[in-house]
């Protein structure tokens, strides 16, 4: 077995670093009252951490241990025998992206450059938000709603379970987690209330604009 570095640092000896749980971009109570600290502590501290920990166990002593998270995802997508690695890698990526898709005092008007792109693709910001909300609410079971860039157009798509737009040639701009663990402690079965509150109060339009330029 390849010896695994037990720290989170790179090794000059070529020992692969494990995938790491990135720090939250804000404190666990920063999104209250829309998302409570209790939800954040479970969602980030238990669920997200478990995906990263499980991924590290699955890739230890395999060729995947030497790859970036994105490369692990694209290398295992659609391969039934690698589904566990794909699921944990994609969920690790999706959650890091979701935390950045939210921000305290978010929502409101998008920055002008993004607003122009939204209007060109959806007609209005309100229509874009309504499409994001209806897509998030209509995802059957666990999954994600995404604002993505498809060529030069913005689109809204949904993915089930761990699935991720980068494997479909789409550039993610924003993500909304609609797994029950994202909202059940705060909203129980009222997914629409969670989604609309996120869109009105937390969505990070600046992050979406940054992602267009990447
Ligand atoms: Fe989640």
127 CA to middle of ligand 1, Å? 25
143 CA to middle of ligand 1, Å? 9
43 CA to middle of ligand 1, Å? 6
What are the structural domain ranges in the chain? 37-101, 112-212
83 CA to middle of ligand 1, Å? 18
Structure tokens at 151: 């060529």
182 CA to middle of ligand 1, Å? 5
Residues 52-57: contacts with CB under 8 Å, at least 24 apart:
52/19, 52/20, 52/21, 52/88, 52/92, 54/84, 54/88, 55/19, 55/85, 55/88, 55/89, 55/92, 56/4, 56/18, 56/19
Query: Within the chain, which residues score under 50 in pLDDT?
Result: 1-14
What is the model's pLDDT at position 7? 36
Helix (H, G, I), strand (E, B) or coil at 171: strand
Neighbours of 106 (CB within 10 A): 19
176 CA to middle of ligand 1, Å? 9
Question: What is the CATH T-level fold of the domain 112-212, as seen in this structure?
Answer: minor pseudopilin epsh fold (3.55.40)
What is the model's pLDDT at position 167? 95
What is the model's pLDDT at position 213? 87
Helix (H, G, I), strand (E, B) or coil at 148: strand
What is the model's pLDDT at position 16? 53
39 CA to middle of ligand 1, Å? 10
Q: Are strands 171-177 and 153-160 parallel, antiparallel or unpaired?
A: unpaired
The verdict on domain 37-101 having CATH code 3.40.1620.10 is: no
- What's the predicted TM-score (pTM) here? 0.92
What is the model's pLDDT at position 8? 39
């Amino acid at each position: 077995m390849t010896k695994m570095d037990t720290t989170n640092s790179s090794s000059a000896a070529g020992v692969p670093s494990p995938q790491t749980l990135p720090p939250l971009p804000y404190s666990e109570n920063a999104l209250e009252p829309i998302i409570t600290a209790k939800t954040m502590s479970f969602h980030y501290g238990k669920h997200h951490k478990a995906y990263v920990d499980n991924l590290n166990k699955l890739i230890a002593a395999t060729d995947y241990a030497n790859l970036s998270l994105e490369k692990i995802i694209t290398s295992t997508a659609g391969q039934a025998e690698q589904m566990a690695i794909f699921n944990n890698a994609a969920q690790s990526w999706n959650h890091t992206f979701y935390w950045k898709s939210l921000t305290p005092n978010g929502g409101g008007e998008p920055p002008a450059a993004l607003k122009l792109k939204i209007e060109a693709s959806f007609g209005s910001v309100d229509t874009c938000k309504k499409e994001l909300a209806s897509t998030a609410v209509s995802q059957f079971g666990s999954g994600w709603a995404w604002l993505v860039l498809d060529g030069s157009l913005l689109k809204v798509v949904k993915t089930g379970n761990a699935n991720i737009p980068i494997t479909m040639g789409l550039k993610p701009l924003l993500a909304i987690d609609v797994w029950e663990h994202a909202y059940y402690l705060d909203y129980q079965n009222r997914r629409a209330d969670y989604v609309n509150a996120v869109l009105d109060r937390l969505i990070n339009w600046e992050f979406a604009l940054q992602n267009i330029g990447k």
